[in-house]
Amino acid sequence: MMDDYTLPFWIYLCVLTVFVGGAMKMILASHLSTASTLVAWLGATVLVERLWAFCLPAMLLLVLLGLTCCFYNATRSAPLPTTLPAHGKAVFITGCDSGFGNATAKRLDAMGFEVFATVLDLSGDGARELQRTCSPRLTLLQVDITQPQQIQQALLDTRTKLGLKGLWGLVNNAGRCVNIGDAELSLMSNFRGCMEVNFFGTLSVTKCFLPLLRQAKGRIVTISSPAGDHPFPCLAAYGASKAALNLFINTLRHELEPWGVQVSIILPSAFKTGHPSNYAYWEQQHKQLLQNLSPALLEDYGEDYVTETKDLFHSHASQANPDLSPVVDAIIHALLAPQPQARYFAGPGVGLMYFIQTYCPFSVSNRFLQKMFMKKKLTPYALRKQSGFNLNLSLHNNNNNNNGEKLM
């Protein structure tokens, strides 16, 4: 019976096997619940049974997939390879005033790293907390990564303290998100501000510290965002800056491989960090937006539409996960694993999001993004007005038609 199958059939079979294996790997890595995983397994089994009806019985296929799952889980749950020692290794972290940077600086210091932590304000709460809780090994540096002179000074200070030793790790954490509306409503200053911090600032820091990293054959770990790979509504400025950052980091990974420098990117889900969790922050951004919008544009969209967007952003930020440990754990693994991953999904839902984008039709992934993030109830005022006008016109025409029928 095996002779009845042609070469194209076996090629097709191999391609399908790779597809199903990759899909199941993504499912298992997507932090799904047991019930959701079971449904995904059953769905995949039914699909493959239909396609492979002439090759493998469904039960045998299920057994093979089960064995693959057991093997993958055993591999995933097995102890990680012996990590590299933290003692004697120096790490430079940007954006340590709060959030991921602050938490990472404290954890790395406790592990024995020599930490260089940058903050925007040396007298701020975040800087004082690091001084109070960390060891004398930690060095605080006041750096705005959009200012090249401050980056150069930080490089000189770091090089002076390291002496002949290179820099083991660079954690690009500093970032900015000031988007609170549709792309047409977003101020140009928001687009430029996001690009200056998230892309150009990170680019400047990375280029400046690369000689020290190449010397130590060290690691570059960059905190990015799924918004750089997915077109989230109302995040055009932030997403565009992260998309540029993602491409730069992925290119850098290939270029630095001959130098022995490992490059990783962290893609977190929604976490409660910094100003975005503060209601006053969103009120300030909302007020600034209304003051700078042209009257015509504000009339087309409606102030209630803009206000709803602001409220949705604040609600999304307030419901974010306050436990930052998934991101910190991913950073530590990227710094100390003998073979770090190129990409880390940190937090629940991120793996599922990338799975849907990779394996589902565009219409499904597009609808998923719209329903998952900004669940808007209002449409722009001009569209509502137009819809109401069309409705009135339709009713008027129906009344005229009815009157005409009565006259006849």
* Residues acting as catalytic residues: 238
- What single letter denotes the amino acid at residue 255? E
* Residues 90, 163: Cα–Cα separation, whole Å: 11
Report the b/e string of 375-385 with b at 16+ CB within 10 A.
Answer: eeeeebbeeee
* Residues 126, 103: Cα–Cα separation, whole Å: 10
Collapsing DSSP states into helix, strand and coil, what is residue 188? helix
| Cα→Cα distances 194→15, 200, 285, 327, Å | 41, 9, 14, 21
Residue with tokens 């093997």: 71
Q: Is the dihedral of CA 359, 362, 367, 372 positive or negative?
A: positive
Q: Is the dihedral of CA 247, 248, 252, 255 positive or negative?
A: positive
DSSP character string of 154-217: HHHHHHHHHTT----EEEE--------S-TTTS-HHHHHHHIIIIIIIHHHHHHHHHHHHHHHT
Q: Across-strand partners of 171?
A: 93, 221
10 Å Cβ neighbour count for 387? Answer: 11
* Residues 385, 247: Cα–Cα separation, whole Å: 42
| Cα→Cα distances 112→108, 115, 227, 263, 279, Å | 7, 9, 33, 22, 37
Q: Across-strand partners of 169?
A: 91, 219
Structure tokens at 212: 């020290």
CB 146 within 8 A of CB 118: no
